[in-house]
Amino acid sequence: MIECLVDGELSEQVSAADRAFHYGDGVYETIAVFDGQPRFWQGHMDRLAAGCERLDLPATPQAVLLREVQTVSAGQGRCMVKIIISRGPAGIGFRPAVTDTSTRVVASFSWPPVDGQPELSGVRTRICDLRLGIQPELAGLNHLNRLEQVRARAEWNDPTIHEGILLDREDHVISAIRSNIFLVFNDRILTPRLDRCGIRGVMRAAILAAFRERCEQRRITIDMLPEAEEIFLCNALHGVYPVNAIDHWHYEPGPVSREVQEWLAEQ
């Protein structure tokens, strides 16, 4: 961590009774900040507000969060800022003893190192052995229960593999571990529906909005992967990375991936 605010105060500690620590009872945002300006701010705020509402967490005013993001990123050219809203030390027991409490952590981290120029060359990926559990109650949410992602990322050590593709138990393609996924067929841009598992990324939502006439959310099965003309990944930090391989299937970074990258460069 570069700098961390807990409920607005400079601190690197939270209560050992916090429900995020005990249960993962909260939501988070991971935001790219360039020269003090958070990218896709409104998208992050919309998702955070929706997540708090679904988990019955109190809303935090955007102005407070923006000020804190700017405080922890001050003097950093480019950094990553993580916002965590947890239910706080609201009582041990699955049911909170106190309602309407929360703990707010806003912390900056150095920008993760990137090898080469993956936005041009594309990235190598693999299909994870772990299958995501189907849980509509939590699907789409960027909540703090992330052991599936931790376990999936522990499956490989090869540093040339950038990401792992996640399927659900019925062999539907859902996402990558820290990115959403898009497949191009005949100039149509498809991305998995995330009503049963997966995380609705802020970059995914921005792409769906910008290319709404060519985009479609649908069920995507594993057998569609080798048939896709192009595949690309996206997240709020890295933007858009074409996929050049999924295990033994190979792809060329193509014109639609480039078009989405060009759109992103203009934002």
Radius of gyration for the alpha carbons in the chain, expressed in angstroms and rounded: 19
- The least distance separating a copy of itself from the CB of residue 111, rounded to whole angstroms, comes to 12
Q: How far apart are CA 34 and CA 39, in angstroms?
A: 7
Residue whose CB is less far from a copy of itself, 94 or 248: 94
The pair of three-digit structure tokens given for residue 39, joined into one six-digit string:
């990218």
The answer to whether 69 and 31 are in contact (CB under 8 A) is yes
Residue whose CB is less far from a copy of itself, 82 or 214: 82
- The least distance separating a copy of itself from the CB of residue 36, rounded to whole angstroms, comes to 20
Residue whose CB is less far from a copy of itself, 20 or 243: 20
Residue 55, exposed/middle/buried by CB under 10 A (0-12, 13-18, 19+)? Answer: middle
The answer to whether 241 and 162 are in contact (CB under 8 A) is yes
- The least distance separating a copy of itself from the CB of residue 239, rounded to whole angstroms, comes to 17
Q: Which residues bind a copy of itself (CB under 8 A)?
A: 1, 4, 6, 11-25, 28, 55-56, 82, 84, 86, 92-96, 105, 107, 109, 112, 130-135, 137-138, 143-154, 169, 177-178, 197
- The least distance separating a copy of itself from the CB of residue 133, rounded to whole angstroms, comes to 3
Residue whose CB is less far from a copy of itself, 149 or 244: 149
The answer to whether 260 and 119 are in contact (CB under 8 A) is no
List the end-to-end C-alpha distance of the chain, in Å, as a whole number.
Answer: 27
Secondary element (H or E) of residue 223 = none
Cα 128–Cα 220–Cα 142 angle in degrees, nearest 5 = 65
The answer to whether 104 and 141 are in contact (CB under 8 A) is no
Residue whose CB is less far from a copy of itself, 63 or 147: 147
Residue whose CB is less far from a copy of itself, 108 or 257: 108
- The least distance separating a copy of itself from the CB of residue 169, rounded to whole angstroms, comes to 6
